């Protein structure tokens, strides 16, 4: 007899999804999704909630009991962050390649990227991921600032360039002093 997979129910709180109960630790341990507050409470950021919803690992419900589809949740999140789609496709691509991806340090970069097989809490992220959309202006002063910050944190900077079709090209960035 085949065991049915349990789908966690998460409550939408602004842009985060909160999952409570024993399943919280299970979801976290399956891929280091979210921030585990205790073994009974997991807080997912928007892209984590989107990928787990897309993969049918969670259901997202609001205070009124309304269940969100992927598209409905994406529309809800776009009201708060107009770049959520681009952030999501980069996150999904990195996850599909087997990397552990966590939120980045503030305005320096969007994500921290761990080597494949790394254990969050034991190992440290090796890379910072910055996202640039094709066709949108990108200031070289900003790139210099991000590169300096990555170096000061002991990380390598990778820029994810997302074209108009949603294809992603990754470039490793290093600082050159003349």
Pair (100, 128) in one structural domain:
yes
Provide the pLDDT for residue 143.
83
Report the CATH number at residue 56. Answer: 3.40.1170.20
Pairing verdict, β 156-162 and 127-133? parallel
Provide the pLDDT for residue 163.
94
Average pLDDT over residues 47-57: 95
Provide the pLDDT for residue 168.
97
Q: Is residue 1 in some structural domain? A: no
Domain termination site, one of 57, 78, 99 = 78
Q: Is residue 3 in some structural domain? A: no
Provide the pLDDT for residue 3.
44
Report the CATH number at residue 122. Answer: 3.40.1350.150
User: E strands along the chain, which residues?
Assistant: 8-13, 16-20, 35-38, 41-44, 58-61, 67-68, 100-103, 111-114, 127-133, 156-162, 168-173
Pair (63, 140) in one structural domain:
no
Model confidence at 176, pLDDT cuts 50, 70, 90, reads low
Total domains in the chain come to 2
Task: Quickly count: other Cβ atoms within 10 Å of residue 50's Cβ.
Answer: 24
> pLDDT tens digits for 92-124?
999 999 999 998 887 778 999 998 888 888 889
- Residue 7 clears pLDDT 50, i.e. is over it: yes
Domain termination site, one of 78, 112, 136 = 78
Provide the pLDDT for residue 5.
63
Cβ(151)–Cβ(173) below 8 Å: no
Pair (106, 156) in one structural domain:
yes
How many Cα atoms sit within 13 Å of 66 on the Cβ side?
Answer: 11
Domain that holds residue 33: 8-78
Domain termination site, one of 34, 62, 78 = 78
Pair (101, 55) in one structural domain:
no
- Residue 48 clears pLDDT 80, i.e. is over it: yes
CA distance 21 to 158: 36
Q: Is residue 2 in some structural domain? A: no
Which pTM value belongs to this model?
0.89
Pair (88, 166) in one structural domain:
yes
With 0-12 / 13-18 / 19 or more C-beta atoms within 10 angstroms meaning exposed / middle / buried, residue 30 is exposed
Pair (99, 155) in one structural domain:
yes
Pair (66, 117) in one structural domain:
no
């Amino acid at each position: 007899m085949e065991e049915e997979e349990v789908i966690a129910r998460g409550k939408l709180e602004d842009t985060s999804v909160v999952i409570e109960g024993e399943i919280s630790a299970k979801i976290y341990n399956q891929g280091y999704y979210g921030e585990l507050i205790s073994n009974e409470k997991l807080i997912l950021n928007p892209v984590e909630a989107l990928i787990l919803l897309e993969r049918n690992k969670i259901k997202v419900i609001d205070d009124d009991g309304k269940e969100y589809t992927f598209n409905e949740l994406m529309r809800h999140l776009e009201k708060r962050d107009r770049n959520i789609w681009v952030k999501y496709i980069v996150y999904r691509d990195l996850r599909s390649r087997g990397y552990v991806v966590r939120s980045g340090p503030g305005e320096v970069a969007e994500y921290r990227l761990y080597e494949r097989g790394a254990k969050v809490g034991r190992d440290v992220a090796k890379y910072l991921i910055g996202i640039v959309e094709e066709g949108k202006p990108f200031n070289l002063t900003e790139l210099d600032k991000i590169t300096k910050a990555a170096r000061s944190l002991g990380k390598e900077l990778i820029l994810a360039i997302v074209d108009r079709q949603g294809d992603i090209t990754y470039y490793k960035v290093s600082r050159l002093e003349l």
